[in-house]
Structure 1
């Protein structure tokens, strides 16, 4: 429990003022050279060398990933990849029904999300890109056998930096009380939502991971978090520390906001339109409230229509997994099914792409 001494108001007030200078400098170069954005979007992996026309800051950003790839320890990653191989369908379900709406209940962080037109107007594709990101980073052998995941993390990190750039430059309604946009505290919280909150969701429906599996997943997201530009000094090493980190951030930021309510309404509308199961369509608010709990559910104005038991929901998600994936387990089948669904719905497979901009 050594990290607990770091979970203080003063430390986290400082984290709200901190961004990601390495990525922010790289985005400044891309804004000045927008033709390079399309080039980066066409990369399959990070190149081994860069042309002289790249600025030293832009080269430094990608050399960070080259250096980290040489330091990777496969043994710290294999446990979580094995866990995802077994529980990948449920993992993705928890992201959609728990992790993402959970983030909306944190008022200051929601202020960044609500300023993204795509998360409101193209929420389906945005969720598809989130699934793609998770699938890419959990690919068996990712980071130590396959290098593609480094580029995926780099792109998402740059997308965060683009968000900061656009808010700093164009968002005249940004309030300094929100903290810096996409700051270190909010990135820690999002990383926690994509890891520990997923594990908590699985526990709620009767699929409680072992302590070893929880530790493996936390260790995995520590590695991913570092690649995403997060100061992992504050990242929990144990499930108990994760509980305390979540409790600390909840106490600081979980509250009702117009931004959070706008985001959850968009998500609910999408689920009601896209989920084919009539029972879930009719009870989606109650389903989200089950996972979020009273405090976060109230913050988002979610109605409590039906009381669910975790065991019943566990059976429901098991049935839906069998229905959607034919009862087949494993990463490869899950990826193929998701890609097929994305092609049918959007006409293409969702990919992680930097926002292409035009000179004005």
Structure 2
């Protein structure tokens, strides 16, 4: 936004200092060797008001001039068959597909493969990390969640939201998924347009949107933070749960999400190559975010109670136990202060399950080969996704 000076407004706040001096932020600095400061703040701050204009133009030129079903069919066709300069289609569509069909020079297929294999071989720990650290931890950043409130995502229910996140994550983290026209590529393009559709709808209909304080809806800087969740925070969580990974796998995770981010229209400047960069970028972004508010607490509790609502497990005692295990992992993975702000219930013996998991992971690491773990992880993750998709296809979960 013209004329607005952005500054690290929460850098002296207790929640920011606690996180970076005593909490997970300090652990991230130790984990990554990052050198955090505000010297580069101005190089990033303008992205608070920057959005994917190409995606927005496609939505205006396709979704806003046709019926939704027709527009979706057109986009499906472009994803499957590609787009060329000769096609008689809107310029915005040519621009978006021109970018996403162009393989960047920096793309390294061996690193992509290493990142994908770590996601699969970490099996259910990957899903625990995404849910109980990345997703619920993200709810502590109040401004980041404003688009969810504005689009009434809470009304959709946590089962549906979790199913959609899982569907996206699994489909972009399989072998060759990001090849042009492949399934992961399709998910990246569709997710990009969903973001644009949501952003334009918020700007059109949600009059309470406070751009000056909250930034543009689904802005590029917030997108960067979200994808650092899928790389840096995800890796840190795996480590906390007793998983080990090679340098190549670690670099592979960052490379994988750098390419997904590229397909989603996030500026390359915001896509870190390694954990040191990611931590330094994340530090600057968190200085713009206040701690949990009432919407954060609602989102967190909706996610916690998802286990009780979800009919994948047949019996009530199984669902209650699953909720308890997720609460244990949330307390173990997040800072106590964050859990208290989000009003995560305290439960007895909350370290027992995570500590047992660490022990099992260490044994499993020694006795089962890497290839066998990749194969089993892929199978188990696909099973969880299949179960979620099965229950959410019914309209009562919409």
TM-score of the superposition, structure 2-length normalised?
0.76
Equivalent residue number for residue 289 of structure 2: 253
Are positions 1:48 and 2:90 aligned together?
no
Instruction: Verify the 8 A CA contact 2:307 2:320 in the aligned structure 1.
Output: no
Q: Give ranges in structure 1 of 5+ residues lacking alignment.
A: 320-326, 349-354, 356-360
How far is the alpha carbon of 1:72 from its aligned partner?
4.6
Give the whole-Å Cα distance in 2 for the aligned partners of 1:104 and 1:70: 35
Shift of residue 205, structure 1, vs aligned partner: 1.4
The answer to whether the 8 A contact 2:305-2:323 is kept is no
- Residue from 78, 103, 111 that aligns with 2:138: 103
* CA–CA distance in structure 1, aligned partners of residues 358 and 34 of structure 2: 34
Moved >6 Å (runs of 4+)? 1-7, 316-319
Q: 1:19 deviation in Å?
A: 0.6
- Post-superposition offset of 1:254: 4.8
Tell me the SS of whatever aligns to 2:101.
helix
For the pair shown, the structure with the greater C-alpha radius of gyration is: 2
The 1:267–1:179 alpha-carbon spacing in structure 2 relative to 1, beyond 3 Å, is: same
1:187-215: CA deviations, max 9, x gaps?
Answer: 00000111211111111111143333222
RMSD of the TM alignment (CA)?
3.2
Say which SS state the counterpart of residue 287 (structure 2) adopts: helix
Uncovered stretches (5+) of structure 2, i.e. residues with no partner: 1-32, 364-372
Write the mapping of 1:1-360 to structure 2, written as runs, cut at 5 A: 8-29=40-61, 30-35=63-68, 36-40=70-74, 42-43=76-77, 45-49=79-83, 54-68=89-103, 72-144=107-179, 147-176=182-211, 177-274=213-310, 276-282=318-324, 284-306=326-348, 307-308=350-351, 310-314=354-358, 329-330=375-376, 332-334=378-380, 336-347=382-393
Deviation at 1:73, TM superposition (A): 3.5
In structure 2, the CA distance between the partners of 1:269 and 1:229, relative to structure 1 (3 Å rule), is: same
Q: Calculate the TM-score normalised by the size of structure 1.
A: 0.83
Q: How far 1:42 moved relative to its partner?
A: 4.7
Cα 1:119–1:229 change in 2 (3 A) is farther
Moved more, 53-62 or 140-149: 140-149
CA shift in 2, pair 1:342/1:7, >3 Å = farther
Give the C-alpha shift of residue 43 in structure 1. Answer: 4.5
